[in-house]
Structure 1
Amino acid sequence: MTTSTHPLIRPATIADVDAMFNVRTAVRENAMTIEELAGIGVTPEAIALAVESAACAWVGEVQGDVVGFAMVDLETACLFAVFVLPEFEGQGVGKRLIQVCEAALFDLHPVVWLETARSSRAACVYRHLGWGREQDLGDGDVRLEKRRSGEPNPKITLSG
């Protein structure tokens, strides 16, 4: 299913939690089941509490259906979740969600960060959107950072 309709990006509500889990368990990369998510503490109750506690999550809708979502940790400046239903990949939903997250994080922090698999499609998207200062975390994962526009970008030398 594809559409040329522009996604609506809006703050997530508690009513969106089930749809967010539907998206999360339907992805191709970094796929996890409800049971696996619960094993790491990601439960509907935990996400509902997060959504209720802070403006930290957004959903992407197409024709009234949630087709993607993103979440941030406002305190630590971390973009920690961006997921889009496979049939809506490549249609700008993820990019728009990332941009909304960046704006929220940059309101509070000059530098923001995320962790992802080095060779994932997601990593390619982040790099394309200007995320860099890549640091190897081992096991195929990397940390990427992005600076608020206008912030000085220090020169660093990566060894190895």
Structure 2
Amino acid sequence: MKKRLIINYRMIFREATIQDIKQIQLVRNSVKENTLSDPNLVPDRDVEDYILNRGKGWVCEINSEIVGFSIVDLKENNIWALFLAPEFERQGIGRKLHDMMLDWYFSQTNINVWLGTSPNTRAEQFYKKAGWKIIGTH
């Protein structure tokens, strides 16, 4: 019989702060899909603008380390970011961040929200499973 390693840790979900930006960037640059060709394309000041002025962000922390985050943009009515460190995928973290983000968004406005992701990816499947509909391709 194979032994199974069971990891027991406490996930903390909370609003993102400026102090989280360095760890948010580490998560963003660790992903295997939707990678940035140049990490400088998303500077810290952009993340700060989105979480303080344009909308709001959330993080999931485990042992004081951010393992996932989401950010929604109220000005353009879109999901700006939802990313997890690869080793923390498929544990419900993305769905929880997604739901927190949309709950807040729709408490602020009733305007439809949109997002973009690459076709034929796990991200596309995630959003379809969450109830998103494809309305076009770009």
TM-score, normalised with respect to structure 1: 0.75
What's the % identity of the aligned pairs?
30
How has the CA–CA distance of structure 1 residues 18 and 2 changed in structure 2, closer, same or farther, with 3 Å as cutoff? farther
Matched, 1:73 2:77: no
- Asked if the contact 1:11/1:55 (under 8 Å) is kept, the reply is no
Gaps of 5+ in 1: 138-160
- Asked if the contact 2:50/2:72 (under 8 Å) is kept, the reply is no
Which of these residues, 10, 19, 24, is aligned with residue 14 of structure 2? 10
Gaps of 5+ in 2: none
For 1:21 and 1:102, locate their aligned partners in 2 and report how far apart those are by CA, in whole Å. 22
Shift of 1:9: 1.5
Aligned to 1:130: 131
- Asked if the contact 1:8/1:61 (under 8 Å) is kept, the reply is yes
SS at match of 1:60: strand
Higher strand share: 1
Alignment of 1:10-159 (within 5 A): 10-32=14-36, 36-38=38-40, 40=41, 42-53=42-53, 55-107=55-107, 108-137=109-138
How has the CA–CA distance of structure 1 residues 55 and 2 changed in structure 2, closer, same or farther, with 3 Å as cutoff? farther
For 2:63 and 2:116, locate their aligned partners in 1 and report how far apart those are by CA, in whole Å. 31
Q: How many residues align?
A: 133
Computed over aligned residues only, the root mean square deviation of the Cα atoms, in angstroms, reads: 2.0
Q: Deviations over 1:5-48 (max 9, x none)?
A: 45321110010000000000100101226xx132x3x2012212
Q: Deviations over 1:47-102 (max 9, x none)?
A: 12332335511111122210001111112220121000000000111111110111
SS at match of 2:29: helix
